[in-house]
Structure 1
């Protein structure tokens, strides 16, 4: 799946797109692995409430402020993006059953751009599981 981002830091709910991929597959039950291979982006699962999403981004800015004299900034001026990606992680695993994601009531899957705007690739892997009953 490819995403085009519009801002330097952007949080995008990709739950619908992932859900559609799962529904269109021939796999009824398994796990869905969502992975970004970019070192300045992330994937996470949490509640899609605008205040919470803003709070998460504010937390990252407080923990890792931009332009704080990081050594990597002498190369790309994006060290903060790399370090924020380390904290958030580059993948999520979500089980699915009957071709539906098994997310909690308030859970959504997010892609996070940390050094945009850019075109980003997200790998989606569906791994079937067997029901032992």
Structure 2
């Protein structure tokens, strides 16, 4: 059986935001076993799974990704939407639009220190649309 949910997240400031509980709030009861595929319908934000306990991880993510893909690179052509736009597209492609999580005993089978992150790369990204597909 396949169930699909489409929902919006509120606008978040630029950065890395734990959204595991917000995603779970949008889903009906999870099956005993299965998979959750979570997809973001945007090209300037991404999804990832990582450390959910120490908030400094979020700061370090922002720092290293901005170091790898800085704003205001002189050779970028796609600049009409601001200096954060093209770097946001590149960062989103590097990190990705989808995460897949196993479901075990009716719960997401994440590791002890894992959580789902929205990676917001725009200064003013706005609401983000997600599609959650549950396979059982």
Give TM-score, length-normalised by structure 2.
0.84
Report what 1:117 is aligned to. 125
Report what 2:35 is aligned to. 31
- Given the alignment of the two structures, is residue 93 of structure 1 paired with residue 100 of structure 2, yes or no? yes
- Given the alignment of the two structures, is residue 127 of structure 1 paired with residue 131 of structure 2, yes or no? no
The answer for unaligned runs of 5 or more in structure 1 is 129-133
Q: CA RMSD in A?
A: 1.5
CA distance in 1, matches of 2:104, 2:126: 33
- Given the alignment of the two structures, is residue 107 of structure 1 paired with residue 111 of structure 2, yes or no? no
CA distance in 1, matches of 2:115, 2:104: 16
CA distance in 2, matches of 1:32, 1:53: 23
Q: Whose helix proportion is higher, 1 or 2?
A: 1
Report what 1:42 is aligned to. 46
Structure 1 ranges of 4+ moved more than 6 A: none
After superposition, what is the alpha-carbon deviation per residue over 1:17-66, rounded to whole angstroms, capped at 9, x for unaligned? 333445x3362210001110100010000002211111111011100101
Q: Tell me the SS of whatever aligns to 1:68.
A: coil
Written as runs of structure 1 = structure 2, the 5 A alignment for 1:14-93 is 14-21=19-26, 24-25=28-29, 27-48=31-52, 49-69=54-74, 70-73=76-79, 75-77=80-82, 78-93=85-100
The answer for unaligned runs of 5 or more in structure 2 is 1-6
* Contact 1:10-1:113 within 8 A present in 2 as well: yes
Out of 12, 16, 22, the position equivalent to 2:17 is 12
CA distance in 2, matches of 1:30, 1:79: 36
Give aligned pairs, total: 125
CA distance in 2, matches of 1:17, 1:96: 17
